[in-house]
Structure 1
Amino acid sequence: MVTDKHQLPSYSRAQLALRNGNDRDEIWCAYQGVIYDVTPSRLWRNGKHYEHWAGQDLTNELADAPHNERVFLRFEAVGVLQL
């Protein structure tokens, strides 16, 4: 995961929502306040991963996933989510 969130740019929920794989080419998701670029993953094509949609905070949805938070180690942190 990210060691220093303070060096990342900050994005609003509305800005994150635009990175859903449809409105722009980027496919981003947030987890615990950090925004990750999941664009390279074939599992996130078209901004959808099983019943989860890109462009939103997935913190509360991870409990239902077959993997843990370590999955985010595969992706680049691109920002932090504004409160």
Structure 2
Amino acid sequence: MGLPTYTVQQLALRNGQDRDEIWVAYQGNIYDVTKSRLWRDGKHYEHWAGQDLTQELADAPHTEKVFDKFEVIGVLG
């Protein structure tokens, strides 16, 4: 059985403000970053949770390997 699919609107609600969950998407996968101290309150530097960060990663000082430490909890559909 595959991972659940979430809409952009469902992802947007997991922004650390509207609900307790803090999620971000990257390349179609949704990651739970709730436990990361770097995403406290749904913000990580100039990036906001509840969004697809695929385009924004090019400006980040790290590679996509940063997502390896987080659990994929769904796919963006």
| Regions of 4+ moved over 6 Å | none
1:9 to 4, 17, 22: 4
Tell me the TM-score normalised to structure 2 length: 0.98
Kindly indicate which of the two structures has a greater share of residues assigned to helix: 1
Following TM superposition, by how much is the alpha carbon of 1:7 offset from its aligned partner in structure 2, in angstroms?
A: 1.2
Count of aligned positions: 77
Instruction: Indicate the percent of aligned positions where both proteins have the same amino acid.
Output: 75
2:29 to 23, 27, 34: 34
Root mean square deviation of aligned Cα: 0.9
Tell me the TM-score normalised to structure 1 length: 0.91
Q: Deviations over 1:9-39 (max 9, x none)?
A: 0000000000000000000000000000001
Q: Deviations over 1:36-56 (max 9, x none)?
A: 000110000000000000000
- Opposite residue 38 of structure 2, the aligned amino acid is L
Q: Deviations over 1:30-83 (max 9, x none)?
A: 00000000011000000000000000000000000010000000000010001x
Give the distance between the partners of 1:76 and 1:24, measured in 2 at CA: 18
1:69 aligns with 2:77: no
**SS of residue paired to 2:55:** helix
**SS of residue paired to 1:63:** helix
Query: Which runs of no fewer than 5 residues in structure 1 stay unpaired?
Result: 1-5
